[in-house]
Chains A and B, each alone.
Chain A
Amino acid sequence: MEFITLGHGSGGKLSHRLISELFLKYFQNEILIKQDDMAIVPGSSMNWAISTDSFVINPIFFPGGNIGKLSVCGTVNDVAMSGGIPLYLTAAFIIEEGFPLAELERIVQSMAETAASAGVKIIAGDTKIVGKGQADGIFINTTGFGLIPEGRNISGRNAQPGDVIIVNGTLGDHGVAVMAERHGLEFSVPIFSDCAPLNEIIALLLENVPRVNVLRDPTRGGLATTLNEIAYQSNVMIELWEEKLPVKDEVFSACEILGLDPLYIANEGKFIAILPEEFADIALATIKNHPLGRDAAIIGKVVDKPKENSNNKVYLKTALGGKRILDMLAGDQLPRIC
C-alpha cells in the first residue's frame, strides 16, 4: 500500500507525480491541463487569471514576514506570473483552538497591509476553527483573481532557444530565513525572508519590454526546480551561469554550513523572466530600476531543444568551466557520492 509522504509536498518529482497521476487524471480539462501556476479563464473582453494556494508554515512568524503576508504575496505573485493584473483575493482560515487572538490580529493586519501595497482587495473569506491538535496553529488559503490585458501570452511553455533568463534578486533568502527561525540557528549576519508582492515590478517589466515569454516565481523547490518545470513544459535545455547567480553572502555561508544548495531553496519575492535576447538590456534595466530588482541579473539562457529521450534539461556552468546537471530532486538533497 502506498501512503502520502512529506515528499509529496516537497514540490519535487513526487509532487509532480501526484498532480499528473492523480489530480489531473480526475480533474482533466482544457484550462487545468496547461499546468501553469494559475488558470487562465476567458472573460467577456479580457481573460481572468485565477490562482489558489494554501499556506502552512512553521514558524508562523519569521524574519521578514509571517504566514499572513506570505499568503497574500504567494497568490498575488502567481496571478502576476501570467501577466495578469491582480485585483481580488479571497481568504480562508483554518485555526487551531487555543491560537492567541493577538497573533491572529497581527497576521490579519499584515495581510491587509500587503494587499493594500499590492493594490488588491480581499473580497470574500471563511473561517473554520478545529480542535486542539487537529491543525498546527493556523492554515490560510487564498485565491487570487486578476485580469490579463489583451495580447499577453506568457506561459511556462513559451521558452525559446536563445532566450535569456533574468532573476530579479538574490536566491534562497526566504527558505534559509525560515529554516534558521524554525531551528533556532544563529548565523553571524541575520537572514530575512524576501517575501514581497511582485505585481508592480512585473507590470513595469511588461510595459517596457515588447516580449516576455515566461514568468515564474521560484518558490518551493527553488530556482532549479522551477527551471526544470519550464524546461520540461517548453521542451528546451537551460544553461545557468554559476558566476552570475545572485546569492547574498550570509545566505551563501549559511548554506555552506547547512550543506544545502541555494538553487533548491524557496524564494517568496523572486521571479524569473525568460525573454528574447534582444530585449535583455531593457528588461534588466527596468527590473533594476525597481526596489525589488536591485540585485537582478541575467543568469543564463535557453540553449537548445534536448536530444530525443534525453532527461537532462537544466545544467549549471560552474565557475571552473564544468557543466553540472541540476535535475529535479525526488526528495531531499540526499548525498549521491559513493
Chain B
Amino acid sequence: MIKRWLVRIYGVVQGVGFRPFIYNLASKYQLSGLVGNDTQGVFLEIEGSEEVLNAFVQQIPIVAPPMAVIDKIEIINTELPISMQSGFIIVKSQGAGDKQISVPVDTALCSDCEKELLTPEDRRYLYPFINCTNCGPRYTIIEALPYDRFNTTMKTFQMCPECAAEYNDPTNRRFHAQPNACWHCGPQVSLLDRQKNIIARGIEAIKQAGEFLSAGKIIAIKGLGGFHLACDARNSDVVKTLRRRKNREEKALAVMCKDINTLKAIVQTSIYSEKILQGPEKPILLLPKKDTQLLADEIAPVNPNYGVMLPYTPLHRVLFEFSPPYLVMTSANKTDEPIEYKNDEAVSNLNQIADYFLLHDREIKRRCDDSVATVFRDKLFMIRRSRGFAPLAIKLPEEFSHIIATGAEQKNVIAIAKGKDIILSHHLGDLENEEAYRAFEECINDLTSFLDLKPRLIVHDLHPEYLATKWALEQPVAKLAIQHHEAHIGACMLEHQLAEPVIGIAFDGTGYGYDGTLWGSEVFIGDGKDFRRVAHLLPIPLIGGEKAIREVWRLGYVLQELAGIKEKNANFNNRPEISIFKKMLSNHLNVFLSTGMGRLFDGVAAILNLREKITYDGQAAIELENIAYHSTKSIPLKLDIIQQEKKWFFDWRPLIQQISAYLRKGEAISTLAFGFHLAIANAINEICLLIRNQYGINKVCLSGGVFMNQILLRESVSRLEQDNFEVYWHQTIPCNDGGIAAGQIYLAYLRSEK
C-alpha cells in the first residue's frame, strides 16, 4: 500500500549535512518526496510502501551524520495525498514560525576532510580552511540564524564555480556546507612580523611559521575561536620566554600534538580518552604524564598531568606538516584578559609577546576558548565547557521556556531555557574584566535573538556584588535568586536528571549565603525545590576579604591562630601585618566569615609552606593536590564532625593542630598533603552516613569547584560506594562556577509552579 507521510525531525539537524543525508538515504530506499529545513528543524514528505517507509524512518537515527543530534522523530501525518512524483528533492529553507532550532556548534576537522587536505592531487591540498557538512566553524562565525552563509562571517567570500557546484549538489558532502571554500575563493592566511609587515602568504606563510617555531620563536596563531600563542614545547628557553612575556609564571600550559601517536608518547591514554581526543569536539584533556624527557620541564612543573589536544582546525593540521610535533598552544591574551580574537587588536596587544603573527581573513564573530576536561572513571569530567560543546543543549524533562540564568562572577557561562532545552553559552570569563563583561552582555543578546527568546524570568546568584546579579536586577522582568551552592548541586542534579531527595555536598571556594556570610562547604539535604543546610565548616575569617583569598598565608595564619597554636608556621612570625590582623579580627574590620572548603585547602597549603600568595585561581589547592601525589605513606589525620542543635559542623581546629604537630616533627609535606585529602574524604563519608541514618537519603551529589581535585573526588566516591551510596558527580557540566548557570535554571525549573 503506497502512502505519503509527513515526518518532522527535531534537534541539531541543520548545518550538519542532514538534508543530503536524507536525500541519499531516500534514494537508497527508492522513496520519492522532499526534505526541507524550517525554523523547527527538518521536515520530510516521503512516499512509498508502508513497510519501506517504516524501515526508512527507523534507519534515520542509526545512520545519521556524526554532528547531528536527533531529539525526536515525529510522524505527523500518514495520509498525505499521494503525488506519484518521481525522485526526491531538497526544498528551500522556510523562515517564519516559532524558532525551535538549535545553534550549530563548531566541529573539528573530520577524517574525510583531513584525507583530502593531505592528498597532493586534491584541489584543496593543504588548504587551511577546508570543511564540509560534518566539520568546520559554526558558532564562532554565526551572526544570525537561520544558519546560512550570508548570516555568517563567510558572507564576504564569493564561492568559485567549483565550490558553488559542490554546495548545490545534494549528493556532495559539501551540499550546503555554509563555510565551503577553497584556495581560489576562500579565506587566506598571512604571516606578519611585529611591524605588521606581511612576510609571507598562503602555504608559504604556514611553512615559514612552522620554521620559525622550529627555530624557537613565539607565534600568535589565529585559530577557530581566538588566538593562541604557540611555541616549540620541547624547547625550554622559548617556553621560559613565553612565560615571562605573558606574565604567566606558574600555571600549566596546554600542548597540541601532531597526531595521536605523538600524543601517546607523552601521556597515558585509554581507549576512552583517545576517542574523546579524536572526537568532533577535540577538547584539551588533562592526562597523566608519561615518564619521558620529550617536553620542556617548564610546561607543567610539579603537575602530574599534561593538558593535551590534537589539531582541530585544518590550519593547525597543516602547520604540523612544517612545525615541531609538540606545540604549546596557550590562549593568547594579556594577563587576566579574555583571549584575543580580532586581527588588529591581537597584533597590537600581543606585540610584546609574539614574534610573528599567523593571521587569516575569516572574521571570528565571537571568541570561544578551548574546552578543558579530564577523564574520571571513563567519563568526561568537564573543567571548562566551551569550544565544540557550546552551545549544545542539555535536556529538561518538560518545557520550561524563556528563561535566562546569568551565572556566577568568575568563569562565567550564561544559560537560556527554551522549550525543553537548556542552552549553555561558551566560557565568557571573569566578569570584572571589561571585555568579558561586554562578551557577557553580547552573549545574552545573541542567544536571545538566535532563539527568539522573550525572557519572562531571569535567574541570578544571591551575591549582591556579582556583576551578573547586578545586570539581572536591572532587567524589567521577574527575577529569581538562587543561592550559589544550591546552584552547584542543581547542576549536578541536572546532569543526572535527579529530582528526588539527595545529599548535596557543595565543596567550593566562597559564595554568598542566605545569612550574608560567605558559604562554601555546604551539605544540603533536599530535592532541589528545597534544600536544608545540615552541615558546614566552622567559619574561617577572611582577614582583608578578597586579599585573604589571594594571599593564602593569611588563611594559614588565621587557622593556626584560631586553633590555638602557639608555635605557628615560621613564615607567619614577625610579620608587621600580624598586629593589625589581630585588631581587624577583634573589631571585625574588613573581615568576612567564610565556610568555604577551598579556603581550608588554601590555608593548609600555606601552613605546609607550599605557597604564600597565588598567581592564578585555585593555585594553592592545586599545588596541595599535586604534592599529595608524591606521598609514600598515609598518616591518620581527621576532620572532626560535631553536632549542635540538629546541625553538624566540620571542626577544623583539631585537624590544624594535628597537621601543625606533624609538621613540627618534620613529617614530609607530601604525606601531610595526602593525609589532609583523606581526612576530607573521610569526613564526607562520615557526614553522609550520619545523614542517611537520620533522614534515609541514599543519593549523594558531589559538586563545587573543590571537586576538580581528583584525589578528593576519587577517594570520596570510592568511600561512598563502599558504603553503598548512589554517588553522582559532574561529567559534561563543570563542577566549578562554569556550571552555576545550568544549576540556576534547573532549580528555577524545579521550583516553578507546574
Contact = CB atoms under 8 A, between A and B. Distances in A.
* Chain A partners chain B: yes
Interface of A: 179, 183-188, 256-260, 307, 309-312, 315, 320-325, 327, 329-338
B459 interface: no
Interface in B236-259: 247
Given A256-B547, A333-B590, A335-B542, 12 more contacts: A188-B576, A259-B545, A259-B546, A311-B470, A312-B441, A315-B434, A321-B337, A323-B433, A325-B431, A336-B546, A338-B411, A338-B484
B369 to A, nearest CB: 17
Grouping DSSP codes into helix (H, G, I), strand (E, B) and loop, the A interface class, with mixed when no group exceeds half, is loop
B589 A258 contact: yes
A312 B464 contact: no
Contacts of B45: none
B474 interface: yes
A323 B435 contact: yes
B54 to A, nearest CB: 52
B441 A337 contact: no
Contacts, number: 131
A321 B547 contact: no
B433 A322 contact: yes
A265 to B, nearest CB: 11
Contacts of B550: 337
Nearest to B411: A338
A322 B337 contact: yes
A183 B545 contact: no
18 contacts: A183-B584, A188-B576, A257-B577, A258-B547, A259-B544, A259-B548, A260-B590, A311-B474, A324-B432, A327-B467, A327-B470, A329-B465, A333-B590, A336-B410, A336-B465, A337-B509, A337-B617, A338-B484
B592 interface: yes
What are the 4 tightest A-B residue pairs by CB atom distance, in nearest-first order? A259-B544, A259-B547, A323-B434, A338-B509
A310 to B, nearest CB: 6
A329 B335 CA distance: 25
A259 to B, nearest CB: 2
A259 B590 contact: yes
A183 B437 CA distance: 37
A325 B432 contact: yes
Contacts of B438: 307, 310, 312
Given A259-B544, A259-B545, A338-B511, A310 B590 contact: no
Nearest to B509: A338
Interface in B385-422: 408-411
Nearest to A188: B576
A338 B435 contact: no
Contacts of B437: 312, 325
A324 B409 contact: no
B625 interface: no
Contact of B592 (A310, A321, A323, A334): A334
Interface in B691-742: 705, 736-737
A134 to B, nearest CB: 24
Contacts of B434: 312, 315, 323-325
Interface band, chain B: 35 or more
Contacts of A311: 467, 470-471, 474
A260 B545 CA distance: 8
B583 interface: yes
Contacts of A321: 334-335, 337, 349
Most buried by B among A312, A329, A336, A338: A338
Contacts of B466: 336
A333 B545 contact: yes
Contact of B518 (A186, A323, A335): A335
Contact of A335 (B335, B433, B546): B546
A331 B467 contact: no
B431 A183 contact: no
B508 interface: yes
A314 to B, nearest CB: 10
B589 A338 contact: no
B546 A333 contact: yes
B643 interface: no
B463 interface: yes
A258 B584 contact: yes
Interface in B589-637: 589-590, 592, 594, 598, 617
Given A257-B577, A320-B336, A336-B432, A325 B410 contact: no
Interface in B111-135: none
A324 B336 CA distance: 10
A325 B409 CA distance: 12
B682 interface: no
B587 A183 contact: yes
A335 B510 contact: yes
Given A183-B587, A321-B334, A321-B349, A338 B508 contact: yes
A185 B463 CA distance: 30
A338 B408 contact: yes
B523 interface: no
Contacts of A320: 247, 334-336
A334 B465 CA distance: 7
Contacts of A259: 543-548, 590
Interface string B520-553: 1000000000000000000000111111111000
B739 to A, nearest CB: 11
B580 interface: yes
B579 interface: yes
B412 to A, nearest CB: 11
Given A320-B334, A335-B592, A186 B579 contact: yes
Most buried by B among A185, A257, A324, A336: A336
A336 B543 contact: no
* Residue among B409, B511, B547, B583 having the largest count of chain A Cβ atoms under 10 Å: B547
Given A322-B336, A322-B433, A325-B437, A337 B583 contact: no
A258 B335 contact: no
Contacts of B463: 334, 336
Contact of A325 (B464, B467, B511, B518): B467
Contacts of B549: 335, 337
Contacts of A257: 544, 577, 580-581
B331 to A, nearest CB: 14
A311 B468 CA distance: 10
Nearest to B579: A186
A315 B337 CA distance: 13
